[in-house]
Chains A and B, each alone.
Chain A
Amino acid sequence: MTRIQFIFYGLFLILLALFSGIGQIDSSVEIIVAASLVILVGIPHGAVDHILYLDGKKINPLFFYGAYLGLIIVNIALWIWLPVFSLIFFLANSAVHFGQSQFSDFNKIPKKTALILNICWGASILLGLVFYHFNEITNVVSQTPDLLPFMMVLNRELLFVLLLIFSVTAITSMVYATANKALTIEKLMLELIIFGLIHIAFFLLPLLIGFTLYFVLLHSLKVMLEEFRYLRFKKRGLSIMGFVKMLAPFTVLSIFFGAVVILLAYLGILQASYALIFLVLLSAITLPHSIVMDQFYKGVFQKIR
C-alpha cells in the first residue's frame, strides 16, 4: 500500500464517520471544499505539462504552447457545436487518463491489457459516480436550461449496465494481469480494495466530496509525486519548494483565466450556467493534459519506474 492510498483509506474512514453523523451538507459548502482542494492540488498537477513534454525534445516551446492552447480552443468550440458528443468525449478521455495514472507503476502489464484496464477502470469509477448520484445529477441537469441537452445520456438502466460491464472487465483485467505475473497477488488485492473503496466512497459520501477525495488524493497528488520524482531525477537537488516554483506560473494562470470566465458569467456577459462553464473549462484543460501525460507515461517516466 502506498502512503497516498493509506491517507485515502484513513480519510475515507473519518469522512464516512463524520458524514454519517452530519448527514446532508449544504451544497455551497460542498462546492467551496471541493473547489479549494481542486485549486490547491488538482490544477497544479497539470502545471508542469510544458516541462514534461518538452524535456529532451528539440521542439520550439512556442509551438507547444500554441498546440496546447489550440487544443483548448478546439475543445471549447466543440462544446458549443456538439455539446453531447463533447461531454461523452470528455468522460471517455477522463476515464482513460484516470486509469492510466492509477496503473502507471505497473510496467509489466501487456499493452492491450493495460489499455483495456485503463479504460474500464476509469469508466467504472466515473459511471459509478454518476449512477450513485443519479437523482441529484438529474435534478440539477433538468433545472439548468443549458444542461438540458445532456438529459439524453442520463438513462439509469443504461448507466447500470455499462457500470457493470466496465467494472467486471476492469476486475477481470487485473486478475488476468496477475495470472500473467504482471501484478503480484498483493498488488492485486490492494488494487481491488482501492477500487472497492472508491466506489463505496462515491456511493456513501456527497457527490463532490467523494469525487474530490479520489481526484485530489489518488489522482492529482499521485501524479504530482510522479512528476516530482522524474524532475528530481533530471535535476538533482530539486527541492519541494523548487518544484512548487515550477508549478506556480501555470497554476496561477489557470486560476486567473478560470476566475475571469466565472466573473464574465457572474456579470451576465457570458450567458452560461456555472455548471456548464465548470464542465467546459475542466474538459478543455483535460484534453491537452491527458495527451501530455500519455506521452510522459509511455516515454520518459519509464526511466524512473
Chain B
Amino acid sequence: MFFLDFVAIPKDDPIAFTFFTGYMAMMAASVFFFFERSRVDGKWKLSLLVSGLITGIAAVHYFYMRDYYLATGDNPTALRYIDWTLTVPLMCVEFYLLTKAAGAKMGLLWKLIIASVWMLVAGYIGEAFNPEGGSTTHSVLWGVISTLGYIYVLYAAWFGEVAQLAEKSQNETVKRGVRTLAWFVLVGWAIYPIGYMCMPGGWLNTAFGWDSSSVDLFYNIADAINKIGFGLVVYYIATTETARLKAA
C-alpha cells in the first residue's frame, strides 16, 4: 500500500522538501476550511467550500507531483498545469462569489474563468511543447499570449467589474477582502511567469542561465502562499461577516 512505502527525502533537496510540506499544508488547509464551513453563515458556506476544494485539489496533485519528482527528478509540468487548470479558475470563482451580493452576474464568472484558462493553456503550450533544447521564440510567443489572460484578471480585480462591485457592496470587509485578493493576483501570481521564464528557451534561462531545476521551488512556495492565503482571506471575510450578522 502506498501509505506504507518508505519515501526518502534527500537532505540537500529543498524542492523535495517543499513538495512534502506543500502537500501536507494544502491537505491541512482543506480540512480546516471544510470543518470551519459549519461555523459560518449560510451565504458564505459556498465560498469556504470552494476554498477547501482549491487546497484539496492541490493537495492531491502535490501528492502525485511529489512522487513523480522523487522518481524522475524532472519537473512534473503536466500535473502542475492540470492542478492550475482546476484551481486557478476556482480562485476566480471566489471573486464572483464575494461580489455576488453586490450584483455580480454569471457573465463576470465566465469572463474570469475564460481569462484564467486562456492564461494556463497558453502557458502550458509554451512550457510543455517547447522544441528540444528550448526555443526562445516559442517561449516568448506563448508567454505573451498567456500574459494577456493574466492582465485581464489583474485588471478586473483592481479596476474592472470585480473592483467596482466590491466598491458598490458598501461592505468594508468585502472591499478589503477583494483588495487583498487583488494583491495576491498582482504579487503572488507574478511568481509563475518568473518560473516560466526559467524553462529552457525562456528569457531568464538564456540571459542568466537560470535553469528549470529552480522552478519547482518557486512554484511550490508560490502555490502554498497563493492557495492557502487566498482561502484564509475568504475565511476572514466569512467569519467577520458571520460575526457581524450575529451581532446585528
Contacts and interface: CB of A to CB of B under 8 A. Distances in A.
B151 A13 contact: yes
Interface string A1-31: 1010010011001101110110000000000
B7 to A, nearest CB: 38
Interface of A: 1, 3, 6, 9-10, 13-14, 16-18, 20-21, 186, 189, 193
B193 A20 contact: no
Contacts of B154: 6, 9-10
Given A6-B159, A13-B147, A21-B136, 7 more contacts: A1-B158, A14-B144, A16-B203, A21-B141, A21-B203, A186-B183, A189-B183
Contacts of B139: 21
A181 to B, nearest CB: 18
Given A3-B159, A6-B154, A14-B147, A20 B197 contact: yes
A141 B141 CA distance: 36
A177 to B, nearest CB: 20
Of A16, A18, A186, the most chain B CB neighbours within 10 A belong to A16
B140 interface: yes
B137 interface: yes
Nearest to A11: B151
A130 B179 CA distance: 36
Contacts of A21: 136-137, 139-141, 203
Of the listed residues B141, B150, B186, B197, the one surrounded by the most CB atoms of chain A closer than 10 A to its CB is B186
Contacts of A10: 151, 154-155
A149 B143 CA distance: 44
A192 B202 CA distance: 26
Interface in B142-182: 143-144, 147, 150-151, 154-155, 158-159, 179
Contacts of A1: 158, 186
B196 to A, nearest CB: 10
A13 B158 contact: no
A99 to B, nearest CB: 24
